[in-house]
Amino acid sequence: MKPIVRPGVADLVPYPPGKPIEELERELGISGSIKLASNENPLGPSPKALEAIKDNLHALNRYPDGSGYYLKTRLSRHYGIPLERIILGNGSNELIELAVRAFLSEGDDAVQHFPAFLVYEKVVTGAGGHMISVPISDFRIDLQELGQALTPRTRIVFITNPNNPTGSVLSKEALAAFLKEVPDDVIVLLDEAYIEFVTDPAAARGLDLFDAHPLLFVVRTFSKLYGLAGLRIGYGFGSADVIDYMNRVRQPFNVNSLAQAAAIGALDDEEFVSDTLRIVKEGLDYLCARLVEMGLDAVPTQTNFFLIRVPHGGKRVYRAMLKEGVIIRAMDGYGLPDYIRINAGLPEENERFIKALKKVLADLSAAGD
């Protein structure tokens, strides 16, 4: 007997299934592979976060602080935002889900640019909503087209800045002008998962834009810069009302105690933050220079990852790279079948990627593929 599912759920495609690296290695008969596929921090977790975790292990018999008081207080100080305008999530993924659960009813519309982070559409469709996707233009989000896609039933607009997978940023001027045009009762979820990597001084930052739109909800994460992807912790800033409604639909203990402690440690870890920014910049510079030498196009980025146009199709290159022990992301699921995406790794990982890519492209050309 098949279960009866909510409208939209049967049409969902599961998130691209992955296997643990160890399992892939066993299947392929290789070892020592590297992963540049998920925009993670190549340095590992923040050491101060690890210390904080150790200091809190003894209290694992207790439920976490459901209000996230200490972390929110720390974030409040760090960003100058009052406590009641901050929410914590089990990764920023959960905050995306909570926003949809709180503000989108079955049959409502949401608007996103495409390609975008695949989770937005998944969550909206799973909630019985309808996602309107506006194609990007020349790897940039087209705000004018996005604005024109809004319908009277649109409850949420998703914008990623900098964007994943393109790495492009919107200017503060352009985003402020867009936000002012969005009807006041529509939530604008601004996903800033990679904002800390941005170097362009003209780039938009959500914290400067609350005056432009009353229902701006800014989402951030500890998964990237702070190296805590495995702990699942993100945070969001919005109006006190937006945060209040989202708090009503979340589980009382949605963020575990080690994640809360680690995030406080990571925010204090200035050395780790500057080391990460340096290693990412050096990695991107190295990779782009080598790719240009190879005659490949790398899409300019303001993040820790970037798109590369490859001959033979992204999926084929992905499969061949896997056999070389280099895990990258094929972009066919994002409507970019000729592209792969990688994040900057450690110097030796970047070198290995380039070496493997040269071999793979030569092999595919020789095979006439």
Per CB under 6 A, residues contacting ligand PLP are 39, 91-93, 117, 160, 164, 191, 193, 221, 223, 229, 234
341: its two tokens: 């995406």
Q: How far is CA 318 from the centre of its chain?
A: 20
Q: What Å distances lie between residue 75 and 88, 187, 279, CA to CA? A: 10, 22, 25
194: its two tokens: 């990679």
Q: How far is the CB of 234 from ligand PLP (least distance, A)?
A: 4
Contacts of 254 by beta carbon, 8 Å cutoff, 6+ apart: 66, 88, 89, 90, 94
Q: Give whichever of 217 and 360 is closer to ligand PLP, judged by the CB atom.
A: 217
Q: Give whichever of 172 and 220 is closer to ligand PLP, judged by the CB atom.
A: 220
Q: Give whichever of 307 and 361 is closer to ligand PLP, judged by the CB atom.
A: 307
Closest CA to 95 of 181, 34, 156: 156
- Rounded Cα distance between 364 and 29, Å, is 21
Is-contact 261 74, C-beta < 8 A? Answer: no
Q: How far is the CB of 259 from ligand PLP (least distance, A)?
A: 11
Q: Give whichever of 50 and 229 is closer to ligand PLP, judged by the CB atom.
A: 229
Q: Give whichever of 194 and 318 is closer to ligand PLP, judged by the CB atom.
A: 194
Q: How far is the CB of 118 from ligand PLP (least distance, A)?
A: 9
Q: How far is the CB of 359 from ligand PLP (least distance, A)?
A: 28
Q: Which residue is nearest to ligand PLP (CB)?
A: 91
Q: Give whichever of 117 and 318 is closer to ligand PLP, judged by the CB atom.
A: 117
Q: How far is the CB of 365 from ligand PLP (least distance, A)?
A: 32
Residue with the two structure tokens 């305008």: 85
Q: What Å distances lie between residue 298 and 164, 213, 295, 308, CA to CA? A: 14, 34, 10, 5
Is-contact 159 189, C-beta < 8 A? Answer: yes
Q: How far is the CB of 159 from ligand PLP (least distance, A)?
A: 10
